[in-house]
Amino acid sequence: DGQVYAMKKVDLSFLSKKEKDMALNEIRILASIKHENVVAYKEAFFDPKDRKLCIVMEMADSGDLQSKINKAREINSFIKESKILYIFKQLLLGLAALHRDKIVHRDLKCANVFLTKRGGVKLGDLNVSKVLKEGLMRTKTGTPFYCPPEIWQDKPYSSKCDVWSLGCVIYELASLKTPFQAESMAQLHKNIVSGSYESIPQ
């Protein structure tokens, strides 16, 4: 159709059953969501030649949010507040779409927010997402710096964990660093559970 797509290749031959299930879960979830703020799934196929599962999805032609933050940090230039608010709104809409279908992202972070040259902001990389069927979940997952206290404390959690992670993303956009800083996992655990973080620069 003349469009350029992104393709994620998953080598199934070296994956555990759990990892294979995660890859297939990503396909199932992506296929079920149709929203402008969620990366669109196109198709998937198994390549028998290299024994890899190929997942074809919408191309985000302007990289990811983490790259944008890294660039701003390199030149010591804060991102404009109006831009942060725009990204915040788009991510809220994307999360609302997931949560309406009882889907929890569970790994929302700047590297999983994709941008387009037309100003699009899209949630992607749903490989650890889960359809919320029983209200609360217990599986420990996600990226440590963005995980809410419930996950660190091995407590049941819900879609609210995505809202916490979104707050961490917005903090990082505003300050060019993650809200919870630590030199060890034990200290990171303590800081997140106690809510210990620096104020966003004015």
Tens digit of each residue's pLDDT (9 = 90 or more) over 18-28: 777 777 776 77
Query: Global pTM?
Result: 0.79
Higher pLDDT, 130 or 146: 146
Rounded CA gap, 117 and 95, in Å?
A: 21
For residue 11, indicate whether it is catalytic: no
Q: Tell me the torsion sign for CA atoms 45, 43, 56, 27.
A: negative
- How far is Cα 113 from Cα 135, in angstroms, rounded to an integer? 25
DSSP the chain: ----EEEEEEEGGG--HHHHHHHHHHHHHHHH---TTBPPEEEEEEETTTTEEEEEEE--TT-BHHHHHHHHHHTT-PPPHHHHHHHHHHHHHHHHHHHHTTEE-S---GGGEEE-TTS-EEE---TT-EE-SSS-B----S-GGG--HHHHTT--B-THHHHHHHHHHHHHHHHSS-SS--SSHHHHHHHHHHT--PPPP-
Out of 107, 125, 154, 162, which one is annotated catalytic?
A: 107
- What does the mean pLDDT of the chain come to? 83
pLDDT of residue 101: 85
- Residue 66, pLDDT > 90, answer yes
pLDDT in tens, 26-65: 677 767 788 999 998 888 777 778 778 788 888 889 999 9
Per-residue pLDDT for 83 more than 80?
yes
Higher-pLDDT residue of 35, 137: 35
Q: What domains are defined for the chain?
A: 60-194 (1.10.510.10)
Q: What is the pLDDT of residues 99-109, one digit of tens each?
A: 998 888 888 99
